[in-house]
Amino acid sequence: MKYWFILTLSVFAAQARADIEYRDFKQPEQEQAYQSLINELRCLVCQNQTIADSNADLAKDLRRQVYEMLQQGKSRQDVVNFMTERYGDFVMYKPAFKLKTFLLWLGPVLFLFAGLAVVWTLRAKGAGADKALSAAEREKLKKILEQGDDA
């Protein structure tokens, strides 16, 4: 029973990856660039997959495009520029850091600091509140301690 489960899982795991075409590369650096690029570019049809992971038609076309550009001697950055000029920053799983995307990068940190600021002010306020007793409060407290609170 257990083995069936594992077997089924491994079949699915194997299928999760797209059937990638065989590509012929003359230089290993080109192959590396290809692999890293297809793992960084988003498939726009199936948005939570990279084009390496997707079997969508568009993903295949984009893989072909990446391959052809590298074969033509284009650089990594050329490919990235080509894609973002057409599909926008969204096509990159890690968009470049620029004015349009800074919230994406810094948003979580900003939220963290905002939260810390809130906690800090609340604590500062709370700490201030139980510091000083007024003369009248001191008197009253003294009485309560001496006689009990029914005085």
Partner 1 sequence: MKYILPLLLFIALSVFLAIGLKLNPREIPSPLIDKPAPAFKLPILAAPERTLSQADLQGKVWLLNVWASWCVSCREEHPLLNQLAKMNKVTLVGLNYKDQADAAQAWLAKQGNPYNVSVMDSDGRTGIDYGVYGVPETFVIDKRGVVRYKHTGPIQPGDLEKLFLPLIQQLEAETA
**Token digits for 77?**
């950055």
**Token digits for 56?**
């969508």
Q: Report the residue number, 62 or 70, with the smaller CB distance to partner 1.
A: 62
Q: Report the residue number, 9 or 119, with the smaller CB distance to partner 1.
A: 119
**Token digits for 20?**
């990638």
Q: Report the residue number, 86 or 138, with the smaller CB distance to partner 1.
A: 86
Q: Does 47 bind partner 1 (CB under 8 A)?
A: yes
Q: Does 61 bind partner 1 (CB under 8 A)?
A: yes
**Least distance in Å: CB of 59 to partner 1?**
10
Backbone angles phi, psi at 41, to 5 degrees: -90, 135
Q: Does 122 bind partner 1 (CB under 8 A)?
A: yes
The set of long-range contacts for 120-126, using a CB threshold of 8 Å and a minimum separation of 24, is none
Asked whether 52 and 38 are in contact (CB, 8 A), the reply is yes
Q: Does 78 bind partner 1 (CB under 8 A)?
A: no
Asked whether 23 and 37 are in contact (CB, 8 A), the reply is no
Residues within the interface to partner 1 (CB under 8 A): 44-45, 47, 57-58, 61-62, 65, 84-88, 90, 118, 122
